[in-house]
A and B are shown apart, each in its own frame.
Chain A
């Protein structure tokens, strides 16, 4: 019996117990590490504001975190089977929420007169943060869903 035959449920989707135990690339680990790097960079910079914080280390953490997020996206895009419709459903609402949160924090820094390279690194750090959180939320939800389930069968956040 082929692995695909063994895994498939009645409608081509894996049975429930296989959904629970299906193995995926370490997307959560990569994204949570990226999130930790963003928060570490944010703390390093906030500890020096309103002065001029050294940017080398926060910049390095930003680059490292962005790379980890990019690797996670690349690995996830190759995951088969995967409930993409559920992933996008959660990701777009969570992204909206965390863009508002990141926007509010950026507003505080801009309002306080942070400018130039410091502001650029802070905003980029917030941008990676605003991508990381929805991604880990959407991945955690989608990994336990039947890949065959459409967005209409998944539950919209307000339902």
Chain B
């Protein structure tokens, strides 16, 4: 992967715009992308306002809506990225990989934290509402297990995955991206995306167990 990335994003000796070299051809590396799509912030603000309203009203349907919809998006995205798109991305020609990365990652920078906070905040409130948090609840152990799984995913996603995503985007914005840096960060991205995908399978087991108990 490092070797591919180094080849893909080798700086031009002349210092002119960076090129991605794939299949013997040179392609310009697109720098025309936003690291954080500013217009998306309005959507994030609207979703978070809805979340606060759901918690403040403590209405069962709205809490369930936020928890199920956000959790579904979170799980699906993690599984899709980890097990479907990740391997495809690894086999794409390097210029296509760069183009996809610069279009996908900025959106994920907004989507992932938003769906995670909606899932956790609405889920905690929902569990409290339904009495799942009480130690006397028969499946309280499963609820605690879901906390543990989320905590492990959070350490991986917030401590390793998101910083690597951000660093790759900043590197791709440079006049001459460093292939070695991108290769190193992408290795981290691919490994951690697989782990969070596997943890999401555990989440599915726990949540379906709780829903049918």
* Residue ranges of A at the interface with B (Cβ–Cβ < 8 Å): 16-17, 19-21, 28, 31-32, 35-36, 39-40, 42-43, 46-51, 86, 90, 93, 97, 100-101, 104-105, 107-108, 111-112, 132-133, 136-137, 139-141, 144-145, 154-155, 157-159
Which of these binds chain A: B74-82, B84-92, B97-105, B171-179? B171-179
Smallest Cβ distance from B144 to chain A, in angstroms?
A: 5
B180 contacts partner chain A, Cβ-Cβ < 8 Å: yes
B166–A90 CB distance below 8 A: yes
B163–A43 CB distance below 8 A: no
Residues of B within 8 A of A154 (CB): 170
User: How far, in angstroms, from A133 to B163 measured CA to CA in the complex?
Assistant: 9
User: How far, in angstroms, from A17 to B113 measured CA to CA in the complex?
Assistant: 32
* Residue ranges of B at the interface with A (Cβ–Cβ < 8 Å): 11, 34-36, 38, 48, 51-52, 55-56, 113, 117, 120-121, 124-125, 128, 133-135, 143-144, 147-148, 151, 154-155, 158-160, 162-164, 166-167, 170-171, 173, 176, 178, 180-181, 184
| With A100-B48, A154-B170: A32-B133 Cβ-Cβ less than 8 Å | no
User: How far, in angstroms, from A16 to B167 measured CA to CA in the complex?
Assistant: 15
Residues of B within 8 A of A17 (CB): 178, 180
12 A-B Cβ contacts within 8 A? A20-B181, A36-B151, A40-B151, A49-B128, A101-B117, A104-B48, A104-B117, A140-B164, A141-B166, A155-B170, A155-B173, A159-B173
Residues of A within 8 A of B181 (CB): 19-20, 144
Smallest Cβ distance from B103 to chain A, in angstroms?
A: 16
B178–A16 CB distance below 8 A: yes
B144–A43 CB distance below 8 A: yes
Residues of B within 8 A of A39 (CB): 151, 154-155
